[in-house]
Chain A
Amino acid sequence: MMNVHLMHNNSASNRPVLEVANLKKHFVIGKSFFGGKPLTKLKAVDGVSFAIGAGKTLGLVGESGCGKSTVGKTILRLYNPTEGSIRVLDQEISALKPKAMRDVRRSLQMIFQDPYASLDPQMTVGRIISEALEIHGLPKGQSHASRVKELLSLVGLDPVVANRRPKEFSGGQRQRIGIARALAVEPKVLVCDEPISALDVSIQAQVINLLQRLQDELGLTYLFIAHDLGVVRHFSDRVAVMYLGGIVEIADRDRLYADPLHPYTKALLSAIPVPDPDVEQQRRRILLRGELPSPLNPPLGCRFHTRCPFATDRCREEVPALVAVAPGQEVACHYWQELRGVEGRPNQSILETEK
């Protein structure tokens, strides 16, 4: 009995539970009724690929506007993909009709950054959670009420709160309610879009501990979107770094933090403030010049070349492919080998980097 169970688990964990390949989402903006002006394409996500095994966590990091949420929402089919494949539990879902998608959402759920906006203020907490059960045609009546209680206890809330409304709760408690709602249908995969960014530090730790316990208890698979590299490191098995709609590096978490290969990953890691004065006051930051280019008009060649301290003419023309460079590590830079161990040009004055 035990053996069968283990074998089953093993064979399952060899296959990715969530797999996206060459995923693209282009938004058409500046629609003009007068025909004169050409439509502009905003390539929010432009060819993203990754796979996550059962019970594992992939962290997705990058700066504001790089396309993290768009990846998450496209996987949930809240947006229709422009191109590419999305496989959930071995089923291709990128072209499913809404009705078929509803069944898929029983295994695939999302929790959002803003615990204030994502819960209907008119509904009681119990109603919010039981609605999720009804949408998916789960048994009604008495069993609903007891399931709601069970879910509230699971996320560390007192079941008596079921008849209160969201405004009576703090940010951290609302995030727990959002998690309970997502878990109502017993999903296998959870896309967490910055679930703790809006919370205070001490509450962040509570929610991280909760998500981790739920993963252990329920065997959940997470796509964990965040901009805090410290939290991602704590939480993830693998980490993907995005820049302007594409993944520039993806690696097992220890590799990525110990031996980052892409110049952007290096800069990002060196920019996180560490809560240790000895580390902070000694360290040399890699200061990137300038700011994120507009995704409406991304740089040609390597998207990072306008800010990369090492860019050459080749970088301005030729797009570097994401290639496997070590077991479990892929990077998209023409010069990753030459730059191995090179930190960038730290301690440059900002004036130099700006001009």
Chain B
Amino acid sequence: MMNAHVRTEASEAARPASSLLEVKNLTTEFRTERGTVRSLHSVSFGLGEGEALGLVGESGCGKSVTALSIMGLLPQPAGRIVSGEILFNGVDLTKLSDREMEAVRGKDIALIFQDALTSLNPVLTIERQITEAARRHLGLSPAAARRRAIEFLDLVGIPAPDKRISDYPHQFSGGMRQRVMIAMALVCGPRLLIADEPTTALDVTIQAQILELLQRLRKELSMALIMITHDLGVVAGIADRVNVMYAGHVVETGMVRQIFKNASHPYTAGLLGSIPKLDSIRGSKLQSIKGTPPDLANPPPGCPFTPRCSHAFDKCAEPPPRSSPEPAHAAECWLLEAGVNTADSRGLS
């Protein structure tokens, strides 16, 4: 019984065999007028070749800062990586020069944002924008870059790509612009795609098209994916593994079924309880979590979830260690360390 709770190196257990990306104890801060904001607290996770990782949590928990830290795109000079390593194919990205990082971005790792409208340059044609990276990173001739761009527009389902490639972004609908963004991200054949809320601005039927597209491309191009979203439904469909973030901490990590069927952290359980179930009784009360996430300029000591947690006890004033209730599954909560199953105690409370 106690043996199941291996306290040490839980993240080792959760790590896939062949590691493409290894984030180790990543801590990122911003200097703001209200003082230093620690947006990531010693975040660690790994990602295997071709694997899909979901990054979930409420707004401000550090999902985008994780993406920006990996990409070397933290706003300067306010943001900086304080400590930690980001190993991509064994190379620590935090140690690369701007120029070296420039070569990784777009070529080996690509990022797409929530808002395709603002991410595309309105005064340049789609052709200009999509061929630019292909010429720079792959050294293609203009004609070859154009052919490759058309091929990728076709791949993401833009009809008549040889004609539409001469259009400007405003001539495309929201869903099509998001497809163009995806084509642009993929044109150099990255090994890892980071998608930061790629469907949040889209309607649900268009979201379904884009999610289906990402799933298909990921398989066809055997590319790893980090899917950032606050929508647990999206994660359930696309992720192999899930990191649940809260106030800059990865509070729980595990295979997608472990997270959804056997949540170990009270925050994860609370999030899942906050979503109406399809079979819920009309008018039944949702579980909900009291209060709001903490102000990161002034976080509570110890476990960041303490003020909202219905299980909090005296030990929670200290930072909880990572414990592993089962292989590949780990959470930062004192209850686990003490061998208490949150799912059981939830029934009692």
Contacts and interface: CB of A to CB of B under 8 A. Distances in A.
Interface of A: 63-64, 170, 172-173, 200-206, 208-209, 212, 216, 227, 229-231, 233-237, 253, 257, 267-268, 270-281, 285, 287-288, 291-292, 349-351, 353-355
Given A200-B59, A205-B287, A277 B274 contact: no
Contact of B204 (A205, A268, A276, A291): A268
Nearest to B260: A277
A100 B275 CA distance: 41
A275 B285 contact: no
B278 A230 contact: yes
B283 interface: yes
Contacts of B204: 63, 227, 229, 268, 271-272
B257 A275 contact: no
Contacts of A233: 276, 278, 280
Interface in B111-153: none
B285 A277 contact: no
Contacts of B175: 291
A205 B280 CA distance: 13
| Chain A contact surface mostly | helix
Contacts of B293: 200
Contacts of A237: 282
21 contacts: A63-B204, A63-B205, A170-B292, A173-B292, A200-B59, A200-B230, A201-B274, A204-B274, A205-B274, A230-B275, A267-B205, A271-B205, A273-B231, A273-B234, A275-B275, A276-B260, A285-B212, A287-B212, A291-B174, A350-B212, A350-B216
A216 to B, nearest CB: 8
A209 B234 contact: no
A285 B233 CA distance: 14
B328 interface: no
A271 B202 CA distance: 12
A9 to B, nearest CB: 18
Interface of B: 58-59, 154, 157-159, 173-176, 203-209, 211-213, 216, 230-237, 256-257, 260-261, 270-278, 280, 282-290, 292-293
A229 B286 CA distance: 16
Nearest to A349: B216
Given A205-B287, A273-B236, A277-B260, A350 B205 contact: no
A235 B277 CA distance: 11
A272 B234 CA distance: 9
Given A63-B203, A275-B275, A281-B237, A202 B289 contact: yes
A199 B276 CA distance: 15
Given A209-B285, A273-B236, A351-B157, A203 B292 contact: yes
B213 A280 contact: no
A253 B280 CA distance: 12
A233 to B, nearest CB: 7
Contacts of A234: 276-277, 280, 282, 284, 286
B307 to A, nearest CB: 13
A276 to B, nearest CB: 6
Nearest to A213: B285
- Scoring A173, A236, A275 by chain B CB atoms within 10 A of each residue's CB, the highest score goes to A275
A350 B230 contact: no
A190 B204 CA distance: 26
A241 B256 CA distance: 32
Nearest to A267: B205
- Scoring A231, A273, A355 by chain B CB atoms within 10 A of each residue's CB, the highest score goes to A273
- Scoring B59, B159, B176, B275 by chain A CB atoms within 10 A of each residue's CB, the highest score goes to B275
Given A277-B257, A291-B173, A172 B275 contact: no
A173 B290 CA distance: 12
A246 to B, nearest CB: 17
- Scoring B204, B207, B273 by chain A CB atoms within 10 A of each residue's CB, the highest score goes to B204
